Structure 1
Amino acid sequence: MLAGYYPETGEPALRDTGLAIVRWWLKARRLREETFGPGLFADPAWDILLDLYSAAARGEQVPTSSLAHAARVPHSTAIRWVKLLAKAGIVVREKDPRDARRVLVSLSGAATALMEGYLGRLSRSGAIPAAIVPQAPA
Structure 2
Amino acid sequence: MLRSRARNLIAAANEMLGIARDLERMAAENDGGAAGPRLVVAGHAPPDDHPYYLDLARRAYADRRRRDKMFLTELFGEPAWDILLDLFISAKQGKRVSVSSACIGAAVPTTTALRWLAVLESRGHIVREDDPADARRAFLHLSAETYSRMIDFFAADHQSGMDRTAIAANG
TM-score, normalised with respect to structure 1: 0.78
Structure 1: runs of 5+ lacking an equivalent: 3-12, 131-138
Greater length-normalized contact order (CA 8 Å, ≥ 6 residues apart): 1
Q: Give, in whole Å, the separation in 2 of the partners of 1:75 and 1:63.
A: 13
Which structure dedicates a bigger proportion of its chain to helix?
A: 2
3-state secondary structure, aligned to 1:92: strand
Q: Offset of 1:37 from its aligned partner?
A: 4.2
**Ranges in structure 2 where 5+ consecutive residues have no aligned partner:** 1-37, 40-47, 166-171
> After the TM superposition, which parts of structure 1 deviate over 6 Å for at least 4 consecutive aligned residues?
127-130
Q: How far apart, CA to CA, are the structure 2 residues paired with 1:111 and 1:80?
A: 19
Q: Match for 1:85 among 120, 129, 148?
A: 120
AA at the equivalent of 2:85? L
Question: Is 1:51 matched up with 2:86?
Answer: yes
Write the deviation string for residues 30-82 of structure 1: whole angstroms up to 9, x where unpaired. Answer: 11111124443210000000000000012122111111111112222222111
Larger Rg: 2
Partner of 2:59: 24
Specify the code of the residue in structure 1 equivalent to 2:132. P
Q: Which residue of 2 aligns with 1:133?
A: none
Equivalence for 1:76: 111
Measure the CA separation in 1 of the matches of 2:164 and 2:111. Answer: 36
The amino acid that maps onto 2:108 is V
- How many residues matched? 120
Aligned partner of 1:33 in structure 2 is 68
Separation in 1, partners of 2:162, 2:122: 31
User: Which residue of the other structure, out of 121, 125, 148, is the alignment partner of 1:113?
Assistant: 148
* 1:127 Cα deviation from its structure 2 partner: 7.6
Q: Distance in 2 between matches of 1:26 and 1:128?
A: 22
CA 129–82 in structure 1, closer or farther in 2 if over 3 Å, else same: farther
Specify the alignment match of 1:6 in structure 2: none
Counterpart in 2 of 1:9?
none
How well do the aligned residues superpose, as a CA RMSD in angstroms? 2.0
**1:91–1:111 Cα contact (<8 Å) kept:** yes
Q: How many percent of aligned residue pairs carry the same amino acid?
A: 38
Report the TM-score, using the length of structure 2 for normalisation.
0.64
